[in-house]
Amino acid sequence: MSLQINQTEKPLYIKVNENDNVATIVNSKGLSKGTVFPSGLELKEYIPQGHKVSLKNFEKGDKIIRYGEVIGAASSAISQGTWVKESYVTLPDPPILEKLPLATKVSAPLSPLEGYTFEGYKNTNGSVGTKNILGITTSVQCVVGVLDYAVKKIKTELLPSYPNVDDVVALTHNYGCGVAINAPDAIIPIRTLQNLSIHPNFGGEVLVVGLGCEKLLPERLSPQEISGNITRLQDHAGFKQMIAAIIEMAEEKLIKLNSRTRVTCPVSDLTLGLQCGGSDAFSGVTANPAVGYAADLLVRAGATVLFSEVTEVRDAIHLLTPRTINKEVGQSLIKEMKWYDQYLKRGEADRSANPSPGNKKGGLVNVVEKALGSIAKAGTTPIVEVLSPGEKPTKKGLIYAATPASDFVCGTLQLASGMNMHIFTTGRGTPYGLAMAPVLKVSTRSSLTEQWHDLIDLDAGRIAQGEATIEEVGWELFHLIIEIASGHKKTWSDYWGLHNDLCLFNPAPLT
């Protein structure tokens, strides 16, 4: 990315690529009509922070270019120095999947990054945890009320006696009964629950609470791991006995988990999930490129890096298929895009539904611009594997894990894929967090970091102001990941205990 910053004390705009014919206003309060930049550009009207200014005169139908890519066409004439609003930009057609190049721009391997370690929890299956958690999974939504009651008692009455255990997490969901359990798409929620149950942060100590009459039998969640670790509420005489049974099983697990200690592990034992939420026009020029640089460092160190969000990749897919390690991986990537196209078509979804109103307020005019900024998180290394929703990786390196763009669904699916650290970029701001893995939030704007000083973990907005480079913030993020993975530092979401519910992706029918 050739980032050009046109800066004096004030005003300040960013032109991402030398071929761009629009630029982004950086000043936190926007810039007023009549503002003149050193380049000679004069604003014809007030333009808010994050929104685009036209760098030329456009005729109707002219291509509008940002990131060196076409994000749309002018719906009418636009004068130089004008605010390029959403209504001025027509949405282009998405890339045609059948015509995409595969594995044509596979970069040479970067030099290995050696000597970096973190302190983690080794598991007998070879995975490594960044937390030490008692996980209690469920086979059906009906048991949630009872389990929530039991978890409160476990946290208040038992957990203080086991100081090496970080938390007790209930894997509750709205699945298990009233569902077409054998429908083809049912594999997605079932596989997700199976893989969540064996998450590396649970240390192999799985406990399952079932009801007794559900369609999703508890044994299906993880037959080998949960043998002898199931309690069914219908087997007990009343509520108190249910709670006693859950607490008794939980204490057995807590004793084992409490004996675990952190040991030195290579960074290659980390599985990072990358996601953005509450995105804005700075996402693709500050936070996401910095995360992409850190992703390259992690891949060089042998780690597994997952990036996701189909709807925020689809319109930039032509930039990703050439990066797949081979044609087979490229075809797998196209397959996931096609599947999601059909899924949206069945729901009569319109591409214009993304971006959200908040994204637009932050300067994003359409899903094409959003996608081009989103994929910056993926860095520059080859894509070595593609996962369907909820699958676990079989390789290390940069991996595309297909998920919806919803923060909560994406996070849940990345956890199912073994994510033990989550990197979350935001421009508009969200207090999003996950109990199962640390969520490190990176701000796209310094003004957001100042506003949410006790929620944002790293400020990438310094890049827009010329105070730091993408590389510097990328390295800072890399070191911060190691600190948090080692338990030496907490993310703000863990400090405050801000943890969102898990949210299954279930495209299968209900019965």
Task: Please give the average per-residue pLDDT across 469-480, as a whole number.
Answer: 98
Domain end point (choices 258, 289, 317): 258
42: domain CATH number?
2.30.130.110
DSSP 463: G
Identify whether residues 248 and 126 lie together within a single domain: yes
Identify whether residues 27 and 71 lie together within a single domain: yes
| CA-to-CA dists, residue 19 to 41, 98, 365, angstroms | 17, 27, 19
Domain end point (choices 75, 92, 109): 92
Taking 80 as the threshold, does the pLDDT of residue 299 lie above it?
A: yes
Q: State how far Cα 350 lies from the chain centre.
A: 22
pLDDT in tens, 215-255: 998 888 865 655 568 999 999 999 999 999 999 999 999 99
Identify whether residues 222 and 281 lie together within a single domain: no
Task: Please give the average per-residue pLDDT across 78-84, as a whole number.
Answer: 98
Angle between helices 144-153 and 239-258 (to 10 degrees): 50
Among positive and negative, which fits the CA dihedral 199, 201, 207, 213? negative
For position 57, what pLDDT does the model report? 98
Identify whether residues 248 and 218 lie together within a single domain: yes
Q: Is residue 104 part of a domain?
A: no
**Spatial CB neighbours of 447, under 8 Å, sequence gap ≥ 6:** 28, 49, 461
Among positive and negative, which fits the CA dihedral 440, 387, 502, 233? negative
DSSP string for 243-259: HHHHHHHHHHHHHHHHT
Q: Is residue 100 part of a domain?
A: no
Task: Place 474 in a pLDDT band, splitting at 50, 70 and 90.
Answer: very high
Q: Is residue 113 part of a domain?
A: no
Q: Return d(Cα 54, Cα 44) in angstroms, integer.
A: 10
Task: Please give the average per-residue pLDDT across 472-489, as a whole number.
Answer: 98
Identify whether residues 46 and 166 lie together within a single domain: no
Helix (H, G, I), strand (E, B) or coil at 200: helix
The angle subtended at Cα 102 by Cα 192 and Cα 418, nearest 5°, is 20
Task: Please give the average per-residue pLDDT across 173-190, as a whole number.
Answer: 91
161: domain CATH number?
3.40.50
| CA-to-CA dists, residue 127 to 115, 124, 327, 419, angstroms | 19, 7, 29, 11
Inter-residue contact 257 to 205 (CB < 8 Å): yes
Helices (H) and strands (E) in the chain, counts: 11, 22
* The residue to which tokens 């894509």 are assigned: 383
Identify whether residues 346 and 481 lie together within a single domain: yes
Q: Which domain holds residue 483?
A: 273-496
Q: Return d(Cα 118, Cα 111) in angstroms, integer.
A: 20
Identify whether residues 50 and 137 lie together within a single domain: no
In this structure, the strands spanning 230-232 and 206-210 are parallel
Task: Please give the average per-residue pLDDT across 367-371, as a whole number.
Answer: 96
Identify whether residues 463 and 378 lie together within a single domain: yes
Q: Is residue 266 part of a domain?
A: no
Q: Return d(Cα 70, Cα 87) in angstroms, integer.
A: 16
Taking 90 as the threshold, does the pLDDT of residue 283 lie above it?
A: yes
Identify whether residues 251 and 278 lie together within a single domain: no
Q: Is residue 193 part of a domain?
A: yes
pLDDT in tens, 125-156: 899 999 999 999 999 999 999 999 999 999 99
Helix (H, G, I), strand (E, B) or coil at 330: helix
Q: Which two tokens stand for residue 176?
A: 């298990």
Q: Return d(Cα 458, Cα 477) in angstroms, integer.
A: 7
Identify whether residues 184 and 61 lie together within a single domain: no
DSSP string for 402-461: ---S-HHHHHHHHHHTT--EEEEEESS------SSS-EEEEES-HHHHHHTTTT-SEE-G
Inter-residue contact 308 to 402 (CB < 8 Å): yes
* The residue to which tokens 């709205």 are assigned: 174
Mean of pLDDT over the chain: 94
- How many domains is the chain partitioned into structurally? 3
For position 8, what pLDDT does the model report? 43
Alpha helices for 169-305 (secondary structure H)? 187-197, 239-258, 287-300
- Which of 171, 75, 473 has its CA nearest to residue 297? 473
User: 384-395 burial, b if ≥16 CB within 10 A, otherwise e?
Assistant: bbbbbbbbebee
Q: Return d(Cα 391, Cα 127) in angstroms, integer.
A: 15
Q: Is residue 509 part of a domain?
A: no
Q: Is residue 507 part of a domain?
A: no
Domain end point (choices 92, 112, 134): 92
User: 222-239 burial, b if ≥16 CB within 10 A, otherwise e?
Assistant: beebbeebbbbbeebeee
Task: Place 206 in a pLDDT band, splitting at 50, 70 and 90.
Answer: confident
Task: Please give the average per-residue pLDDT across 68-79, as a whole number.
Answer: 97
Taking 80 as the threshold, does the pLDDT of residue 9 lie above it?
A: no
Inter-residue contact 130 to 421 (CB < 8 Å): yes
11 prior amide bond cis, ω within 30: yes
From the CA atom positions of the chain, what is the Rg in Å?
24
Identify whether residues 81 and 54 lie together within a single domain: yes
CB atoms within 10 A of CB 450: 13
Identify whether residues 280 and 232 lie together within a single domain: no
For position 224, what pLDDT does the model report? 63
pLDDT in tens, 399-449: 999 999 999 999 999 999 999 999 999 999 999 999 999 999 999 999 999
pLDDT in tens, 215-224: 998 888 865 6
Q: Is residue 480 part of a domain?
A: yes
- Which of 474, 478, 394 has its CA nearest to residue 116? 478
Task: Place 509 in a pLDDT band, splitting at 50, 70 and 90.
Answer: confident
Task: Place 7 in a pLDDT band, splitting at 50, 70 and 90.
Answer: very low
Q: State how far Cα 397 lies from the chain centre.
A: 16
The angle subtended at Cα 502 by Cα 497 and Cα 503, nearest 5°, is 145
Q: Which two tokens stand for residue 87?
A: 């209504």
